[in-house]
């Protein structure tokens, strides 16, 4: 959520910044709404002030046993007027709030201009493509079973058997241990979150269709970012303990509405997938440094796995709703002969903090923190990348060295 003060004082610049990401903000609508708010608010508050004064006087009359009937009539009139105006004011305030909740974050000045994903910039490429494999993961192993999953649940689910299930578990442990080594505190969190939490991190109200709702006020989490960030919702944090670094492994649930026909085969795009999430809660002055460090932490995992990847910076037009700057990490997928997203690391500046009311306390004041998060990494896609990049034909294959101790063997049965 943007600061409404900035909208009042600096609308032009915000408008220009939002245009870079393709968002048209309706200036006339906002200014009329805010003007209406101002008029109504002054009227309501004046009436309240009058009522407060008369009520105090009423008390005085009562205690000296004087007649209050005239005064009561006056107050009744004020209250009747107040009721009418308050309703109007509340409607206006709600309209303003809905308007604000719909506005995406402002891109950082450093974000390259662009219209869509075609304008994203490759920052750096790491590792050489070494695989000659052309088979996709479903062809490489029969232990990833999407047909059985569709019997159990439907499309976009999977059943992993034997070494595939074990490899996934090994990857999770490996990634969590990496995060802990990099100073992140491990958490186990709820896999369902309420409306307030999801509004805080920006999924609601705008992206309700992307979520699975389980009850009136409960949704399956689309990422551990939601529970991890909301640990601090409504909290005031001592500046000394920043940056906070949190991690958790959770399943993630996404309805993938609007992606019909995209990546329909295999593990790439599922309703349920495993992910390790890295979250940092920081001092605003530090947040870009923290984004870089978090990006590095995610990259290290691919370095260790010796998988070829590239880091790309999202252009203004491709930024996610809540983000002011995002780097995606894309891993080489031999069967598709292209790099595919395996992590997305973003700085949300004070956007989530403002929605979630997360502040930090420094010597002479308080202010909203900045939040940063990214995957470290998406487990299913990592598993595919390992299969496809390391496969050399045959019914077994060698695993990357760093996984041996987690997997308990250097060879995977396919």
Partner RNA sequence: GGAGAGUUGGCUGAGUGGUCGAAAGCGCCUCCCUGCUAAGGAGGUAACUGGGUAACUGGUUCGAGGGUUCGAAUCCCUCACUCUCCGCCA
Binding site for RNA (CB under 7 A): 4-5, 38, 41-42, 44-46, 48-49, 51-52, 54-56, 58-59, 62-63, 72, 75-76, 79, 236, 361, 363-364, 366
Task: Indicate the residue among 122 and 236 with the shorter CB distance to RNA.
Answer: 236
Residue 330 Cβ, how far from RNA at the closest point, in Å?
39
How many CB atoms sit inside 10 A of residue 71's CB? 16
Task: Indicate the residue among 118 and 363 with the shorter CB distance to RNA.
Answer: 363
Q: Are 249 and 373 in contact (CB under 8 A)?
A: no
Return d(Cα 263, Cα 68) in angstroms, integer: 76
Task: Indicate the residue among 10 and 45 with the shorter CB distance to RNA.
Answer: 45
Task: Indicate the residue among 89 and 160 with the shorter CB distance to RNA.
Answer: 89
Record the tokens describing residue 235, joined without a space. 């909290």
Return d(Cα 402, Cα 265) in angstroms, integer: 29
Q: Are 337 and 377 in contact (CB under 8 A)?
A: no
Residue 339 Cβ, how far from RNA at the closest point, in Å?
41
Task: Indicate the residue among 11 and 58 with the shorter CB distance to RNA.
Answer: 58
Task: Indicate the residue among 338 and 363 with the shorter CB distance to RNA.
Answer: 363
With both helix axes pointing from N to C terminus, report the angle between 287-305 and 379-390 in degrees, rounded to the nearest 10. Answer: 40
Record the tokens describing residue 381, joined without a space. 């896609």
Task: Indicate the residue among 48 and 310 with the shorter CB distance to RNA.
Answer: 48
Long-range contacts of 294-297 (CB under 8 A, 24+ apart): 294/345, 294/372, 294/373, 294/374, 294/376, 295/327, 295/329, 295/345, 295/374, 297/178, 297/179, 297/182, 297/184, 297/376
Residue 244 Cβ, how far from RNA at the closest point, in Å?
16
Residue 148 Cβ, how far from RNA at the closest point, in Å?
26
Residue 55 Cβ, how far from RNA at the closest point, in Å?
4
Which residues, at least 6 apart from 146, have a Cβ–Cβ distance to it below 8 Å?
138, 157, 158, 159, 265, 266
How many CB atoms sit inside 10 A of residue 333's CB? 23
Task: Indicate the residue among 48 and 131 with the shorter CB distance to RNA.
Answer: 48
Which residues, at least 6 apart from 142, have a Cβ–Cβ distance to it below 8 Å?
414
* Secondary-structure breakdown of the chain: helix, strand, coil percentages, each rounded to the nearest 5: 45, 20, 30
Residue 99 Cβ, how far from RNA at the closest point, in Å?
15
Residue 343 Cβ, how far from RNA at the closest point, in Å?
32
- Name the nearest CA neighbour of 104 among 223, 1, 226: 1
Q: Are 106 and 324 in contact (CB under 8 A)?
A: yes
Task: Indicate the residue among 31 and 45 with the shorter CB distance to RNA.
Answer: 45
Return d(Cα 108, Cα 288) in angstroms, integer: 10
- Name the nearest CA neighbour of 230 among 396, 367, 352: 352
Residue 281 Cβ, how far from RNA at the closest point, in Å?
17
Residue 201 Cβ, how far from RNA at the closest point, in Å?
19
Residue 38 Cβ, how far from RNA at the closest point, in Å?
5
The 3-class SS string of 206-241 reads CCHHHCCEEECCEEECCCCHHHHHHCCCCCEEEHHH
What are the helix (H) ranges across 238-305? 287-305
Residue 81 Cβ, how far from RNA at the closest point, in Å?
13
């Amino acid at each position: 959520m943007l600061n409404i003060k900035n909208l009042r004082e600096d609308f032009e610049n915000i408008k220009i910044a939002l245009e870079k990401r393709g968002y048209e903000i309706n200036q006339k609508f906002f200014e009329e709404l805010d003007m209406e708010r101002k008029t109504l608010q002054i009227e309501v508050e004046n009436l309240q002030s009058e009522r407060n004064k008369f009520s105090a006087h009423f008390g005085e009359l009562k205690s000296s046993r004087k007649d209050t009937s005239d005064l009561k009539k006056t107050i009744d009139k004020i209250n009747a007027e107040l009721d009418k105006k308050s309703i109007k004011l509340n409607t206006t305030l709600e309209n303003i709030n809905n308007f604000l909740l719909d506005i995406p974050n402002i891109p950082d000045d450093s974000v390259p201009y662009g219209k869509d994903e075609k304008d994203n910039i490759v920052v750096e490429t790491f590792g050489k493509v070494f695989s000659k494999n052309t088979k996709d993961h479903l062809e490489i192993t029969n232990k990833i079973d999407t047909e059985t999953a569709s019997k159990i649940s439907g499309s976009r689910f999977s059943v992993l058997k034997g070494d595939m299930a074990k490899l996934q578990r090994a990857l999770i442990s490996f990634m969590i241990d990496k995060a802990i080594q990099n100073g992140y505190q491990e958490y186990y969190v709820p896999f369902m979150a309420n409306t307030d939490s999801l509004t805080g991190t920006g999924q609601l109200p705008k992206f309700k269709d992307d979520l699975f709702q389980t009850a009136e006020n409960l949704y399956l989490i689309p990422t551990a970012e939601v529970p991890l960030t909301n640990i601090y919702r409504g909290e005031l944090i001592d500046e000394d303990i920043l940056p906070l670094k949190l991690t958790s492994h959770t399943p993630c649930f996404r309805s993938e509405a609007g992606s019909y026909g995209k990546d329909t085969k295999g593990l790439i795009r599922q309703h349920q997938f495993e992910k390790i999430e890295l979250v940092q809660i920081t001092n605003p002055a530090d947040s870009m440094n923290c984004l870089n460090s978090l990006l590095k932490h995610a990259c290290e995992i691919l370095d260790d796995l010796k998988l070829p990847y590239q880091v790309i910076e999202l252009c203004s037009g491709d930024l996610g709703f809540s983000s002011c700057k995002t780097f995606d990490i894309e891993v080489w997928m031999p069967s598709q002969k292209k790099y595919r997203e395996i992590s997305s690391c973003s700085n949300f500046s004070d956007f989530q903090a403002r929605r979630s009311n997360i502040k930090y306390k420094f010597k002479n004041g308080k202010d909203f923190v900045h939040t940063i998060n990214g995957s470290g990494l998406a487990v299913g896609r990592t598993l595919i990348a390992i299969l496809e990049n390391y496969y050399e034909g045959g019914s077994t294959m060698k695993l990357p060295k760093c996984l041996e101790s987690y997997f308990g063997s250097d060879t995977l049965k396919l």
